[in-house]
A and B are shown apart, each in its own frame.
Chain A
């Protein structure tokens, strides 16, 4: 039995150096060997746990003290994760209490940083502080003024439009947990929107994706985001038109 399995795997093993796809995994009968089957299950478990993970607000708030900015705790109209998954429209809008809270902070600024759980709070919990440590100094050095940092539960990307608009910020930067893949449950995405206001759609945004230690590193991601923000302010726009000119950015 054991002898057979290794015979099946060995000749193909050499192919594995060319791709991270699950090739050359052997077979038992026509089925996937147990080890490979459990590897897959574990990766899926990580992804599933990430979808149901929650924002660690306390820890994040403490960590953000170093940036010397007020932190606002906001919530979308979604009340439970099940609803979040089925009603993207509700995850794009703030609830009443959050809108009321924002009224006290309507002061013109350049950039509103908005942090939302999205589809992986794990990604946010693990990667936002590291990214902001690289990014905020770059932006500060260029003289950009910041709105308070918003920490949003059950949020989708477009909730940054509501928040940026109600904070009177010229640009919203949403850092959000991306849909977990089997190879990465901790990918953070950054979406920036110039002149944010309710009702905008994806073509008005620019995105930097796969931010995590094993993907796009904090330093590289910060450089990319900084470049895009600088260009957005220079050209007074974001989205498809800005993207066309981002030849300087390597992925």
Chain B
């Protein structure tokens, strides 16, 4: 008989294992319904949450959601668990852990200290008991700082990835978007292009284009082409100017296999990128992207809910000390996250869970045209993430990505957030902007002079 059960009036809800309990306790989203793992009623969902609240955190070290023998991410999670860091919270249940996280005594230092003692499943579990407000309040207490050519994630600072995509990777088209973005103060997290094709020659020319612009204007930032990790590895060996190594990752070994990756391959690429030693103030060289629903869409979720799968991907990210981790929350479509409400909830969960595990979380605040969402929902999410202390968002011309055909956040959106919340760019990048006459000492935008050097870059 299962130990996971709860009676409400005359109905006893039974949950056969931890995996089932986690799925049933998840706030509703379309992807869990599609997977057939969500609660059948509102009451059953709360019964699952009440049951989950009483589960000791220690249980998560003994009962795994995907078998140890079958999944290298489960092995990574269990084998790399830090019992010493865990000690401070090892006596708590999931519910007690939620209250502990919110208490005034639990500060930034405490949270940083326990991070290695947390497993993704513990963190996913506690998030299911938390309201949006709780997710924001605890994430705000976390501080995850990473460095390459600048410093990202300091409290009071907020960065952007400049995303100058073009449908045919046309160098001039890409460059025009880069210059526009730089003049709006975008690009301190990275200047990162999603290439239209994964051909090494095309990726290499984009890398050189960005490296030239960066050198020409002495910009304290890092560049990245978001090609497959095998392409990046090949280009590193050929001597291309690779700052950051990118890869999309998921939370099960099978899903990662469908991406053409595994832990050994990431390790190889990580070491190769590290060996280039191109960072000036630090050497966090990895850039990972994730998103709820990726495991299910690869038919590789093993009956685990999509949010728990997502947090398991963070175990992969954590191993390689990334500069940036980006949850591309609304890109996957309405069969996984149906509307603005679900997208916002998922993004706050991802940000909270990542931060708690010690990751430099950013978010692609985004949606597709077949989702029930619009730019107002993105404004809401953007503002909530700003309050929560999100490390970075995307900067895309007019929020409209003409290559990937979805909507995200604009250069203007980042400026809005900095203004209403008093946030500043990465310190090194801020100084560069002042020198370039893009902002003044107070951080206000200055009108662009028609003879500005950056405008001359296209000639």
Residue positions of A touching B, CB distance < 8 A: 4, 7-8, 10-12, 14-16, 18-25, 27, 29-32, 36, 40-41, 43-44, 47-48, 50-51, 85-89, 119, 179-183
Contacts and interface: CB of A to CB of B under 8 A. Distances in A.
A12 B334 contact: no
Given A10-B450, A15-B180, A30-B415, A119 B370 contact: yes
A8 B447 contact: yes
B383 interface: no
Interface string B169-198: 010111111011001100000000000000
Given A51-B369, A183-B400, 5 more contacts: A11-B452, A15-B458, A21-B402, A86-B34, A119-B370
Interface stretch (B99-107, B151-159, B405-413, B430-438): B405-413
Interface of B: 30, 33-34, 164-166, 170, 172-177, 179-180, 183-184, 334-335, 338, 368-370, 374-375, 396-400, 402, 405, 407, 410, 412, 415-416, 418-419, 445, 447-450, 452, 455, 458
B412 A18 contact: no
Contacts of B335: 85-88
A201 to B, nearest CB: 9
Contacts of B180: 12, 15, 21, 23-24
B341 to A, nearest CB: 14
Contacts of B179: 15
Contact of A23 (B33, B374, B397): B397
> 9 tightest A-B contacts by CB?
A22-B398, A30-B415, A19-B173, A181-B405, A23-B180, A47-B369, A18-B176, A11-B450, A21-B397
B148 to A, nearest CB: 26
A19 B177 contact: yes
B415 A15 contact: no
A124 to B, nearest CB: 15
A19 B166 contact: yes
Contact of B405 (A11, A12, A48, A182): A182
Contacts of A44: 369, 374-375, 407
Contacts of A24: 180
Contacts of A23: 176-177, 180, 397-398
Contact of B370 (A10, A11, A32, A51): A51
B412 A85 contact: no
Which of A12, A25, A48: most chain B CB closer than 10 A? A12
25 contacts: A7-B447, A11-B452, A16-B176, A18-B173, A18-B176, A19-B172, A19-B176, A19-B402, A21-B176, A21-B398, A22-B398, A22-B399, A23-B180, A25-B397, A27-B184, A44-B374, A44-B375, A47-B369, A51-B369, A51-B370, A85-B335, A88-B34, A180-B370, A182-B369, A183-B402
Contacts of B448: 8, 11-12
B458 A21 contact: no
Contacts of A15: 176, 179-180, 455, 458
Contacts of A22: 397-400, 410
A11 B398 contact: no
Contact of B398 (A12, A25, A31, A51): A25
B176 A32 contact: no
Nearest to A23: B180
Nearest to B171: A18
Contact of B375 (A4, A40, A183): A40
B419 to A, nearest CB: 5
A12 B182 CA distance: 12
Contacts of A41: 375
Counting chain A CB atoms within 10 Å of each CB, which of B33, B164, B398, B449 scores highest? B398
